[in-house]
Amino acid sequence: MNKLLKKVLNISIYILVLLVLTYCAVLFLGQRISVIGSSMEPTLSDGDNLIVDKITYRFREPKRFDIIVFPYQYASNTYYIKRIIGLPGEKIRIDAEGRIYINGEVLEENYGKEVIVDAGLAAAEIILGDDEYFVMGDNRNDSADSRFLSVGNIKRESIMGRAWLRIYPFQSFGILKHA
């Protein structure tokens, strides 16, 4: 009986250590998240499952075109996935033709799915603070993002991590393209 008790104790300790390590990995390293909606089409689709990298931004600042995950401020356990367009200290504006300007220069990018119809708050120049990012969905006309008060500029401390790897659907498995 002593051997059996010892074996059960060893297995229990092993399972406990495994659970603690898993908890720490999810808390500090990465987390699975599901895409709901079409705001990041064609890059990400409704139902995609991603791994969020929580480590990278501990060592470097977010970059333009990174796809980030952050909590929605008006609902608990709700996260948004958007692409960084504007960096701290920059001036952002979207003109009537749907062109995005950064510090007075047209942003050269090909992530937007179509011409922007509603510039929202960015119809007037937005000046980002030292810790603020301007984000947009790739499906520009079907995205609640920094152009609108419900999302606004994203503070650095609010960024949960960088969308890194698509794990489902399996035929689309792979590392996500950022810049």
Q: Which helix (H) or strand (E) holds 4?
A: helix 2-24
Q: Which of 3, 12, 38, 39 is catalytic?
A: 39
Provide the token pair at 161: 């991590």
Asked if 45 is an active-site residue, the reply is no
For residues 146 and 153, the answer to whether their CB atoms sit within 8 Å is yes
96 vs 101, 123, 153, 167, CA distance in Å?
11, 8, 21, 38
Asked if 3 is an active-site residue, the reply is no
Q: Which of 54, 82, 113, 143 is catalytic?
A: 82
For residues 154 and 146, the answer to whether their CB atoms sit within 8 Å is yes
The residues that are catalytic are 39, 82
